[in-house]
Amino acid sequence: MADKITKVSIIISKGGLDGVYPGLILANGARMEGIEANLFFTFFGQDAITKKRMGKIKVATVGNPGMHMASLLGVLPGMSAMATSMMKKTMEKLDIPPVPEYIEMISDAGCKLYACKMTVDMFKLKKEDFCPQVDSIITVGKFYELAAGGEIIFT
């Protein structure tokens, strides 16, 4: 096995801030190390590249055991908004950009972004619904073709 990773293809399948950030950080970090990177957005992960949703992604406070709080509290009005605002402030301090800016930065860094064809069909989306950084809408088969010769990371 090679001792250095030279290419990664990262799948972002989950929505919500805690669903999309890990993949974005991995992709950006790969480019920072000079590693070739692809990002493939599927299911609710596609919110991160959907124009009308990418700026409004929140942290889920219900059914999210990582929140360290009772789900019953999470259903209270404004809880998700509050958790989201707290998380965003913390991330800004750490110099982690908001999702739309991060997507632009990652694309500028040379990472290619793709949307999943099946999800697009399922949610009846069109290419125009995505931010301009999205290269194309591709099938699973095409994804494997693009990922050839590198590592695949599923998030």
Question: According to CB under 8 A, which one of 3, 34, 89, 149 is a site residue for other proteins?
Answer: 34
**Could you tell me how many residues of this chain bind other proteins (CB under 8 A)?**
15
End-to-end CA distance of the chain: 23
Q: Is 131 in the site for other proteins (CB under 8 A)?
A: no
Question: According to CB under 8 A, which one of 65, 94, 126, 149 is a site residue for other proteins?
Answer: 94
Q: Is 33 in the site for other proteins (CB under 8 A)?
A: yes
| Residue 82: φ, ψ to 5° | -70, -45
Q: Is 1 in the site for other proteins (CB under 8 A)?
A: no
Query: Considering the complex, what minimum distance in angstroms separates the CB of residue 114 from other proteins?
Result: 19
Question: According to CB under 8 A, which one of 73, 81, 110, 151 is a site residue for other proteins?
Answer: 110
Please answer whether residues 129 and 52 qualify as being in contact, where contact means their C-beta atoms are separated by less than 8 angstroms.
yes
Phi-psi region of 36 (alpha: psi -120 to 50; beta: other; left: phi over 0): beta
Q: Each residue of 55-83: b (16+ CB within 10 Å) or e?
A: eebbbbbeebeebeeeeeebeeeebbeeb
Query: Considering the complex, what minimum distance in angstroms separates the CB of residue 134 from other proteins?
Result: 17
Q: Is 92 in the site for other proteins (CB under 8 A)?
A: no
Residue 38's identity, in one-letter code, is N
Q: Is 96 in the site for other proteins (CB under 8 A)?
A: yes
What does the alpha-carbon distance between residue 80 and residue 62 come to, in Å, rounded to a whole number?
8
What does the alpha-carbon distance between residue 154 and residue 96 come to, in Å, rounded to a whole number?
21
Question: According to CB under 8 A, which one of 7, 18, 25, 133 is a site residue for other proteins?
Answer: 25
Q: Is 112 in the site for other proteins (CB under 8 A)?
A: no
Chain residues in the site for other proteins (CB under 8 A): 25, 28-29, 31-34, 94-97, 105, 108-110
